[in-house]
Amino acid sequence: MRKYLGLIIAVGFIGIVAMWLMSFYNGTVSANESVEKTWGDVLVRYQERADKTKNLLEIVKGAADFEQETLTEVIEARSKASSINLTADQLTPENLKAFEDAQAQFTGALSRLMVTVERYPDLKAVAAFRDFQAQYEGMENRISVERRKFNDAVRVYNLL
């Protein structure tokens, strides 16, 4: 029995290391899946905003005659923001920067549109626009929540 003690200890050690490696691998895969899922959730929220903004543009076009330049900026920013779609495999610092820049440009254009709309009392009274204003605030909050979840998932993944 004594002559096998070293072999038993070695096999036990190898078994423990193998279990740790499997656990580490499974944790890494799980964290990666979490990053991919949360990135998908971020994209869904941005797409929701782009889709609803299309509705806003139609409301504004139909209800107010205001600066065409602002409307054009929003349309172009929406188009640019919607054209950049990153999969989880494409999440590099450069791609994220381009994506975030496009989203920031879109947010800025929307903000200018909202300020412009404030100058048109008739438009503010349109029920569809009032509904959109409430939805817009919710959309921005949901985007923030999803981005925060994504950042948390990436942090966990990076710590592995």
Instruction: State which amino acid sits at residue 66.
Output: F
Question: What pTM was computed for the model?
Answer: 0.58
- Cβ-based neighbours of 119, under 8 Å, separated by 6 or more: 66
CATH number where 122 lies? 1.20.1440.20
| Domain assignment of residue 33, given as a range | 2-159
The dihedrals phi and psi of 84, each to the nearest 5 degrees, come to: -95, 105
Counting the structural domains of the chain, the total is: 1
pLDDT one-digit tens code per residue, 19-78:
999 999 999 999 989 998 999 899 888 888 888 777 777 766 665 555 556 667 777 777
